[in-house]
Amino acid sequence: MAVADLMVVIIRVILVWINAMYSPWPFLHITPVCSSIMFLSGAAFVVSVWLTVAFTFDRFVAICCEKLKTKYCTERTAAVVLGTVSVLGCLVNIPWYFSFEPEYIIDNVPWGCETILSFRSSPAWAAFDMFDLILTPFIPFCLILLFNILTVRRILMSSRVRSGLRGRSNGENNKDPEMENRKKSIILLFSISGSFILLWLTYVVFNIYVRIADIPFYYSYSDPVFLTDQTSKMLQLLSCCTNTCIYVLTQTKFREELKNAVKYPLNLIVKFVKSQKELKGVKH
């Protein structure tokens, strides 16, 4: 999840928005390159969102489905889910690559990415746009809410039963390690899925309003709708930044792996410098 969110930040924020405003890398404006970036941007968004759904479902199974837990909550299943979501996320977004055409051609080189005219009028493109919107984020939005409600319901029920049994057997309220672990799991679950719901809410409501009110595909910069659209996209991007921070704050193993990832290139550099010094010493 953290890697998928990082890819969204790199592709959407750096390669799309920053490059569009400041153009530090002009070659990214070549039409095939630009179209590829837009395709990768959409794929990264889909993968990020559906991995959030997969994580929510994984916590639901771990807490609510004891029989399925031993078969589903394994490293092999996690690898299969990650691979499947990543591949399908890329396949679903392939049509976006073909939704752009050059704005102008200089020396037989196509530049710029402009939405093709048929995208605004073709029923096929309209159907694909609606399918893409339903796939991300309407279905994930509903699934995350459903799994969270079922998970909370199960936790509350089991907590009452477990507290009652421990109270009868011990006669006092001692700390329960199992309930402490569940509490940590539910904090992580609600931190990730809750931030997703809150930060995507504006985008979801805005898209529903745009289609109900039949607002044109393009609108002027002075239009309040434009400001709302940009705000919803900003919050949408922000949702992809929060998961990594949440993992760093809550997961010890994730912090350790992150430290190892940062130390690895530094260790390679140190080894390389030492080897060069040893070679120089041998020559002398």
Once rounded to an integer, what is the mean pLDDT over residues 124-144?
Answer: 85
Strand partners, 110: 105
Band (142; pLDDT cuts 50, 70, 90): confident
The predicted structure's pLDDT at residue 226: 78
37's CB contacts (< 8 A; 6+ apart) are: 11, 15, 16, 28
**Are the C-beta atoms of residues 148 and 189 closer than 8 Å to each other?**
yes
What share of the chain in percent tops pLDDT 90?
Answer: 9
**What does the alpha-carbon distance between residue 47 and residue 44 come to, in Å, rounded to a whole number?**
5
Q: In terms of Cα–Cα distance, which of 186, 185, 165 is closest to 174? A: 165
* C-beta atoms surrounding 69 within 10 Å: 14
What does DSSP assign to residue 220?
A: -
Least confident of 80-84, 143-147, 244-248: 244-248
Instruction: Report pLDDT for 257.
Output: 72
Measure the CA–CA gap between 142 and 53, rounded to whole angstroms: 10
**Dist CA 207 CA 211 (whole Å):** 6
Which one-letter DSSP state was computed for residue 30?
Answer: B
- Per-residue confidence band for 222, with pLDDT thresholds at 50, 70 and 90: low
Cα–Cα–Cα angle for 84, 85, 89, nearest 5°? 120
- pLDDT of residue 179 exceeding 70: no
Q: Is residue 91 predicted with pLDDT exceeding 90?
A: yes
The full set of domain ranges for the chain reads: 2-262
pLDDT at 217 over 70: no
Per-residue confidence (pLDDT) for residue 251, from 0 to 100: 63
Q: Which CATH superfamily is domain 2-262 in?
A: Rhodopsin 7-helix transmembrane proteins (1.20.1070.10)
- Mean pLDDT of all residues in 125-150: 85
Is residue 206's pLDDT more than 90? no
